[in-house]
Amino acid sequence: MAESATKILLTEQVIRDKVKELAATIAGEYNGKNPVVVGILKGACIFLSDLIREMQIPCTVDFVRIASYGAKKETSGNITITKDLETPVKGRDVLVVEDIVDTGLTLSYFVEVIKQRQPATLRVCVLLDKPKRRIVPFSADYVGFSIEDEFVVGYGLDYNEKYRYLRDIRIVGSTD
Ligand code: XMP
Ligand code: MG
């Protein structure tokens, strides 16, 4: 089945404005704290890069890679960390940054892992939220956009490694 990504859901300008808004809120709450900003690879890389530059507060940046094995567009319950943090987070203010929360499995798993490391505080920021798809309860502390149950790409999000470079966020459709 061929797919296309021509239907724009969120334009570059709309995303930029939202990132600025989120960054202003976060910067206000973390002022003077030097948080560890944890990006989940690969999808969050572009969002995190824009977010910290808008936040304009000192922070440590680190990344994790989390794999879930299952069908292509789905998250299975089988989740593992394939690249862990290099930064000790005990006693630190941790802000996890993710592109999208869908079933909630990835973030609920990762939040538990970080909690065991005893951070001073732990919050999660997601650019996109698909609340209708939840399998496990999960609420992020900062949410950019709540969207319908559609597969989206661009601004770091991919479909089989395609479309991450797009400046906007688009809905993936089938061409046949
Ligand atoms: P869960 O289901 O664990 O999923 O909350 C989070 C991860 O699933 C991927 N995901 C998507 N990726 N477009 C994407 O490019 C989407 O619409 C989408 N929905 C879920 C993504 O990797 C996310 O980190
Ligand atoms: Mg992801």
Q: For ligand 1, is residue 105 a contact (CB within 6 Å)?
A: yes
Catalytic positions:
102
Which of 102, 107, 151 maximizes ligand 1 atoms within 8 Å of its Cβ, making it the mutation to test the pocket?
102
Q: For ligand 1, is residue 111 a contact (CB within 6 Å)?
A: no
How do the domains of the chain map onto residue ranges?
A: 3-174
Q: For ligand 1, is residue 151 a contact (CB within 6 Å)?
A: yes
Which alpha helices (H) appear in the chain, and where do they start and end?
12-30, 45-55, 105-115
Ligand 1 atom at minimum distance from 163 CA: 15
Tell me the sheet residues that pair with 159. 162
Q: Which residue has the higher pLDDT, 69 or 128?
A: 128
How many angstroms is it from 44 CA to the middle of ligand 2?
6
Q: What burial letters (b/e) apply to 104-114, b meaning 16+ CB within 10 Å?
A: bbbbbbbbeeb
Which 3 state secondary structure label does DSSP give 119? coil
Instruction: Return the sign of the alpha-carbon dihedral for residues 72, 73, 79, 80.
Output: positive
E strand or H helix at 38, and its extent? strand 36-41
**Is pLDDT of 26 > 60?**
yes
What pLDDT is recorded for position 75? 57
- Averaged pLDDT, 152-175: 96
What's the topology of domain 3-174? Rossmann fold (3.40.50)
Q: For ligand 1, is residue 35 a contact (CB within 6 Å)?
A: no
Confidence of residue 73 (pLDDT cuts 50, 70, 90): low
**Which residue type sits at 16?**
R
**Is pLDDT of 103 > 70?**
yes
How many angstroms is it from 146 CA to the middle of ligand 2?
16
Backbone angles phi, psi at 8, to 5 degrees: -80, 125
149 close to 131: Cβ distance less than 8 angstroms = no
The closest residue, in CA terms, to atom 12 on ligand 1 is: 157
CA dist 45 to 42, 86, 93, 141, 144, Å? 6, 17, 20, 19, 15
The pTM (predicted TM-score) of the whole model is: 0.95
Confidence of residue 89 (pLDDT cuts 50, 70, 90): very high
- Averaged pLDDT, 146-169: 97
Q: For ligand 1, is residue 145 a contact (CB within 6 Å)?
A: no
Question: Per 3-state DSSP, what percentage of the chain is helix, strand, and coil (rounded to 5)?
Answer: 25, 35, 40
